[in-house]
């Protein structure tokens, strides 16, 4: 196995929340329903959504930031163990396959008003 790419991104939580509030439909363009809602059906908090957005940005950077990727073709989810994971489809899966990506590693964090993510694409 070899590392194909690494991406990192940060998002200011308050700024991200303000963007979601002022731009109708932005959340639905960035996230799948499963990312927006908790298992209880309640909407996820701004810190969690900002971290997921940072992960999608980091994923794009790990792929070389190609044009044409759809935000909803990358899903950030958390396993029952608490480990964050990525599931890719469509445009993101196609680019990953082209580059030889076979697995993903993702780390999410949010503290002091900032959400961050690191993504490693491994082939």
Annotated binding site for Mg(2+): 9, 57
DSSP β-ladder status, 114-122 and 3-12: antiparallel
Residues annotated within the binding site are 9, 57
- Please, which residues have CB within 8 angstroms of residue 105's CB and are 6 or more apart in sequence? 119, 120, 122
User: What's the rounded Cα separation, in Å, for the pair 33 and 43?
Assistant: 9
Angle, vertex CA 76, rays to CA 116 and CA 70, nearest 5: 100
């Amino acid at each position: 196995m070899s590392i194909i790419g690494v991406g990192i991104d940060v998002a200011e939580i308050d700024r991200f929340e303000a963007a979601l509030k002022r731009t109708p439909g932005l959340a639905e363009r960035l996230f799948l329903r499963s990312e927006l809602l908790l298992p209880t059906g309640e909407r996820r908090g701004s810190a969690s959504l900002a971290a997921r957005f940072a992960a999608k940005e980091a994923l794009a950077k790990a792929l070389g930031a190609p044009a044409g990727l759809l935000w909803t073709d990358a899903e950030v989810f958390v396993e029952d163990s608490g480990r964050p994971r990525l599931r890719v489809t469509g445009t993101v899966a196609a680019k990953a396959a082209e580059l030889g990506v076979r697995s993903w590693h993702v780390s999410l964090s949010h503290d002091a008003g900032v959400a961050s993510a690191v993504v490693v694409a491994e082939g």
